[in-house]
Structure 1
Amino acid sequence: MAHRMCKQAALLLAFTALSGPLAAAKPVKQTVPTHLYWGDTHLHTSHSFDVFLFNTPTSTPETAYRFARGETVVSPTTGENWKLSKPLDFLVVADHAELVGSVGKVYAGEEGYADTATGKGMLAQIGDSVAAQMLKAYHYLVRIGTGETGGDLVTPQQAYVDLHGGTKRQAAWHSYIDTAEEFNEPGKFTALIGWEWTSAPGGGNLHRVIFTPDGADKAKQFMPFSQLESDKPEKLWAWLDATNKRTGADFVAIPHNSNLSWGKMFQVEDSEGNPITADYAERRMRWERVVETTQIKGDSETHPALSPTDEFADYERYSFVMVPTGPIAKPVEADYV
């Protein structure tokens, strides 16, 4: 499938969200039908290093698509049969681009993964059970990622070479694409190809979920851009622009959990601390057409400290910044939609 059915729907949703208040002042002639679609743009599977190491290795993309389409599946966490009361219209399997697919290969004993310094370090973690061992391996990777040194830790550069760089992710990425093509049903269910860019400079959450309305012919011409290539949004937008010009692929990037960004998601400076410019705004508006306002890690719409007269401002707050020490950040406008 060269093109997905949901592109118009996604762009219409973005237009409505960004320019809705203007619609009443100046009616716009409707040229395409408008429909409300239900789906999920932010779903992880065991190809994400954290999901696998949280002892849910059977949460595969195939299972996710089957569940989204309304089929009965075995829950990766409870072992019970689960089924949606009503199928979704679309799904983005958006696993972390960092180390995507590699951790499963470590535990499968695959050559080139399990026998690397990073793979050996993960497998050497000791626990009273498989789940405990995997959780220790998760913290092992987190410690490497935060720059901790000493003991049995490898360097971030070594982990990159062992589990991420070169062609390490290619087989997993192509498998994603093939699975999306298999489950995509034009006019009935849209399987969108995507990933998550997991930038968190200084612990501030700048994550974006990224997807393309295009198919395998274009998606197999690139590898998903990750925070290991750059943790700066400007670099992400530049990559999206260059990849669009090279392959013709379009993209939507959705900022998520701005409530955990430590004041960085909507600040009025760029990544270098310079005031934002018209060029910055235009590049961001091109790719970031919508924004996620709520999810399991809290609501990002507003905060009682910022909206004292809004009776719903206290809805599902989650204030712990995503760093090992779990500090609570003071809410600022740059955190909320």
Structure 2
Amino acid sequence: PMILGHRNPIVTEAVVNAIRDLGTCFGLPYELEIEAAQKVVDAVPGIEMVRFTNSGSEAVGSAIRISRAVTKRRLIVRFEGHYHGWQDTVYWSNHVDPVAAGDPSKPRPIPSGPGVPIELEDTLIVLSWNDPESFIKVMAERGHEVAAVITEPAVLNTGCIMPLPGYLELLRSETKKYGALLIFDEVITGFRFSRGGAQEWFGVTPDLTTLAKGLGGGFPVAAIGGSKEVMSIIAEGRYSHSGTYNANVIQCAAVSATMDILATPGIYERQRTLGFRLADGLSKIANEVGIPVIVEGIGTAFQMWFSDKPIHNWREADKYASEEMFTRWYREMLQRGVLFHPNHLENLFVSLVHTDEDIDKTLEAAQGALSAIAKNL
């Protein structure tokens, strides 16, 4: 969520002023809510109408239910290695045991934790990502039963895995063909790749989009948005999206201020340049010291896989990416004053306030860290 850094002064001031001048929660529409919503609509290609809520899990839960209500179907297609929140309907097959899941062309849905009713298994179809053949086959067999296909447009819940050329376009064309909805879970990718999200970056427009994290510049807020055709089910009162704290003053003030900052000309181009410099620098250092790595991402969000093979989906990440090597790198970097997530299935982010000096310091630390690892291989 810290796309603007910690305690961004502009966003913080906007929230404090809104609380002082307006209050915190009305339960009625108000001008700041409309202002924040319009800025999101203006930014994200697939959003013509939007509703605010409190977490990414809530947003995804609403998107799933909306898709079932609109299509009058029950099946949801999701992919191994993607994480869509903690709700029972989608808390399945995240970092799943490949042996338990079975055949990668038709995996068995596996709950991602205890307490998920196994009875929901038959409401899901789980597939391996970046596998066009299995997706086409499933849609040909059951496409007319599918309410929605939900996907991260780039998988940032398993390190960073980019879509193969044409894959998102395939998801879009097949869902349209069979009358299913396409949901982009942009809880992480939203506002990271570009102001319009990964959908703008890749040029593929979904029917529904879920947002959170970067949306509020560090404050807790999420959103569900989509086409008027789909979202009108809420506006017309045919579907209830209720919640005491939905679109509260704190959220909307944070969103409005954040969206203004993200509209700053050149801000993404600058940070992508920094991000690519970091990513390319890490790759170069690793290559020079003889450690095989693959750096995958678009600059502002990426991961350095300790692998000598490309990674296109969860099973390849599980098979080829070395957790042990990543942990050694994490510890060496921490000793040199650079902190990032210790899990190799998480990400490296370049925020919109990182500087050239930050990149220089990180690369200097990486030179020492990777050299130390190479000496002990």
TM-score, structure 1 as length reference:
0.28
- Whose helix proportion is higher, 1 or 2? 2
TM-score, structure 2 as length reference:
0.26
Considering Cα pairs closer than 8 Å and 6+ residues apart, tell me whether 1 or 2 has the greater RCO: 2
